[in-house]
Amino acid sequence: MEVHVQRSTILAPHAHPLKEVPLTIFDLFASNINIAVLFAFTAPTPSNTEIIEGLSKTLVHFPLLTSQLDYSRLRRRPCLVVGGKGGGALVVEATVDADLSDFLPLEPSADFHLLHPPTEETHHLFQVQLNRFKCGGLVVATITHHRVADGQSMSTFFVAWGETIRGTPITSLPVYDQSWIKPRSPPKCEFQHWDLEFVRVPPYRNGSTSNQKDEDPSKITNILLRYSSEFITTKLKPKTKGKYTTFETVLAHLWRKITMARGLDDRRHTMIRVTVNGRPRMRPPVPNEFVGNLVLNAYPESNVKLLLQGGVERAAKIIHDAIRRIDESYFQSIIDFGAMHGEDDLVPVYDTDGDVLSPNLEVDSWLRFRFQEVDFGGGGKLCAFLPDLGAFRGFGHLRPGFGAGWGFKCCCRVV
């Protein structure tokens, strides 16, 4: 794939008053990494000028995406600086000497890194590259720093961007109210958060950690698994008597299959780190349009022998029970934890993992996000959506698929 960069532009922050927004405990828990995704649209599509103008107008409502991260020790807690000098969103325009149809359906490929802006430009928390194919097709590749927003937030943003390009009002305006992130008086931690969400000491000593495992990235390969609605409905759901959600059922199936493929000893334990959206769990519930991070993890675990002998139903129950435990009281507990340890050097557990998670897994659900609703107009249609998972062995996610049946896709690293 030959990609030719034509020009780069920085959309400067709009004239917002200078404001410092401290990172919440949920922002600090998020991985300190960039998240990259690809949207592919068939021709015809709006011009680059129309898309960039639409982006500029949308960013007025999402100013955190043009802010700057400040980790200065002069502050009690890292913060986002809105409206200051610098910042802005990076926009790259490029052309590709090929037809989009040559790459459909999108499969994980190292070549797709060419379609993304350079990730070393970490100064910009939101970056986008518009890739025009010879046939008129368009791939919009974006990079967003995870400490600014989670998947739910970004799906709200992308839908709003498409609406702005099409000249329609934004149907779901972002919500920034953080009044619900309020510790009790006095704060009280009812659950253990050290070593589950955060570690006590910075993980890096002389460039490594005691529990960090790394592997040559070239030996780790993305794979894409497709599960049709029919397979889930007629093959998997009957095994659980329909008692569990689609996510819990498919994840139970994957957990057992991956554990078998790894050939783990029967006496070992295996665990899945599962992301849990706190918006519907808070009381009162937080709107889906809340922009920021509001995700914690559940940790279903099992002895390998029991996991493989117990079948899909038992595995789904383990997952279901672990997710249910991450309820409103758990989210309130970590809010209090943040109040008690706000001046500590909080390091999320993600920073200690390395890129080999075996015998464990991390699997996220994107099934309820709105990425498949993104519509840039012009007559073309969204025909593919693909996140870049990075080089982590044992990481994956479930998301809605494109095409007949709207089944489900799972992206994961081979084990």
Structure tokens at 134: 């010879």
219 CB contacts (<8 Å, ≥6 apart)? none
Contact present, 142 and 128 (Cβ < 8 Å): yes
Mention every residue, 6+ apart, whose C-beta is less than 8 A from residue 276.
295, 296, 297, 298, 323, 326
The C-alpha torsion from 189 through 194 and 196 to 197, rounded to 10°, is: 80
Q: Report d(CA 389, CA 219) in Å as an integer.
A: 15
Please answer whether residues 91 and 66 qualify as being in contact, where contact means their C-beta atoms are separated by less than 8 angstroms: no
Residues labelled as active-site residues: 146, 375
What does the alpha-carbon distance between residue 363 and residue 272 come to, in Å, rounded to a whole number?
7
Per the omega criterion (within 30 degrees of 0), is the bond before 300 cis? no
* Per-residue DSSP letter, 235: I
30 within 8 A of 60, measured Cβ to Cβ: no
Q: Residue 232 contacts by C-beta under 8 Å, 6 or more apart in sequence?
A: 246, 249, 250, 407, 408
CA distance 248 to 6: 45
Q: Looking at the DSSP assignment, which residues form a beta bridge with residue 208?
A: 205
Contacts of 31 (CB under 8 A, 6+ apart): 146, 348, 350, 351
For the chain, state the CA radius of gyration.
22
Distance CA 151, CA 369 (A): 7
Catalogue the E-assigned strands of 212-356.
222-227, 269-277, 295-298, 301-303, 347-348
H or E segment to which residue 11 belongs: strand 3-11
Report how far residue 9's alpha carbon sits from residue 6's, in angstroms, rounded to the nearest whole number: 10
